[in-house]
Amino acid sequence: MTTPWYRRISEGLTKSRDRLEGQLNVILNRGPELDEEFWEDLEDALIGSDIGVTAVTEIVERLRDSATRKALPDAAAVVDHLAEELAREVTTEAPDVFETAPVTVLVVGVNGTGKTTTVGKLATEAARTGKSVLLGSGDTYRAAAVEQLDIWAERAGVPVIRRERGADPAAVAYDTVTAANVQRPDLTLIDTAGRLHTSPDLMRELQKVHRIATRESAAPVKVVLVMDATTGQNGLAQAREFDAALDLDGIVLTKLDGTAKGGIAVAVVRELGIPIVRIGVGEGADDLKPFVPGEYARALVGRG
């Protein structure tokens, strides 16, 4: 069961697991009784991981039901069953947007969440598995943005469509999808500049980028938000705004390695209803992983 892949996810979630596992151990050390104090402390431990009140209430309810039916006889049995319930909360039927080919994916999000890095990692992964990839450098604001994407592209050996700094990002999107219509790559990824979800002008600009890409692209166009897991509840607020403006197809949850509140992934799926399509557990090319509910839950709870 301990594949290298699982080990990396598990390492990435160390901070979150240390926190949650520590709290669960405190609860377990008090004894096997399933009294009110047990259920309250379990709830608090889960809410403290940013799992979100809605999901926590449902999970604890189900565990209580099982305990009443004597399926879970004591505290240890309940805690052992927790990972399974958590996995259930984040399981969705949504298809993997990066696996359908051909596809064009517009990558959006607030400043510094990891968009360009994620585009680089995705390009690396796709190229390695023999897919053809085309990148569009849609961040025309930041001086170093094009160079940053170029470095990833060069390493992955994939072409990039770009324009001069200050150009209209919708023009870059146009150039990219029209090139894709001719070259027909399996995967086209368009990076965009970071922007605050509270800025109407910048959100309108992004809608224009999306409109033009959708109008011109022969391949279906999907929109993926890159969300920084360390921003917690604020990240959820960002996601709601981006979803309202662009109707998101998926979320890449980055920097899970940088937070003790990795339960935020549960809140993303349950409260936003948007599937998590990848998780970022580090800065390297190999640190972007598929989101597998069972593995994630085991890595978060740390037991079994």
Residues of the shown chain interacting with Mg ion in the complex, contacts defined by CB under 5 A: 115-116
> Which position among 52, 114, 138, 275 is part of the footprint of ligand GTP (CB under 6 A)?
114
248 CB contacts (<8 Å, ≥6 apart)? Answer: 223, 224, 225, 239, 242, 274
We find the least distance from the C-beta atom of residue 117 to Mg ion, in angstroms, to be 8
- Which amino acid does the sequence have at 254? T
We find the least distance from the C-beta atom of residue 125 to Mg ion, in angstroms, to be 18
Stretch that binds ligand GTP, among 87-95, 106-114, 125-133, 160-168 (CB under 6 A): 106-114
Half-sphere exposure of 58 (CA within 13 A, CB side): 14
Of residues 1 and 143, the one with the C-beta less far from ligand GTP: 143
**b/e 34-56 (16+ beta carbons within 10 angstroms → b):** beeebbebbbebbbebbbbeebb
We find the least distance from the C-beta atom of residue 116 to Mg ion, in angstroms, to be 3
Of all residues in this chain, which one has the CB nearest to ligand GTP in the complex? 194
Q: Which of residues 6-25 bind ligand GTP (CB under 6 A)?
A: none
Helices (H), the chain: 4-12, 14-29, 36-47, 53-68, 75-90, 115-128, 145-156, 169-183, 200-216, 232-246, 264-267, 293-301
- CA dihedral (34, 85, 253, 231) in degrees, to 10, reads -20
Give helix 200-216 / helix 232-246 axis angle, nearest 10°: 50
> Which position among 115, 197, 210, 270 is part of the footprint of ligand GTP (CB under 6 A)?
115
Half-sphere exposure of 86 (CA within 13 A, CB side): 32
Of residues 115 and 121, the one with the C-beta less far from Mg ion: 115
The answer to whether 197 contacts ligand GTP (rule: CB under 6 A) is no
We find the least distance from the C-beta atom of residue 86 to ligand GTP, in angstroms, to be 21
218 CB contacts (<8 Å, ≥6 apart)? Answer: 102, 177, 180, 181, 184
Of residues 9 and 60, the one with the C-beta less far from ligand GTP: 9
Binding residues for ligand GTP, how many (CB under 6 A)? 23
User: Residue 17 binds which one of Mg ion, ligand GTP, none, with CB within 5 to 8 A depending on kind?
Assistant: none
We find the least distance from the C-beta atom of residue 147 to ligand GTP, in angstroms, to be 11
The answer to whether 283 contacts ligand GTP (rule: CB under 6 A) is yes
Of residues 115 and 270, the one with the C-beta less far from ligand GTP: 115
Q: Is 100 exposed, middle or buried (0-12, 13-18, 19+ CB in 10 A)?
A: middle
> Which position among 117, 124, 188, 238 is part of the footprint of ligand GTP (CB under 6 A)?
117
Tokens of 138: 């849609």
Tokens of 28: 């377990």
We find the least distance from the C-beta atom of residue 149 to ligand GTP, in angstroms, to be 9
SS3 199: coil
The answer to whether 280 contacts ligand GTP (rule: CB under 6 A) is yes
The answer to whether 147 contacts ligand GTP (rule: CB under 6 A) is no
Residues that bind ligand GTP (CB under 6 A): 109, 111-117, 139, 142, 145, 193-194, 226, 254-255, 257-258, 280-283, 287
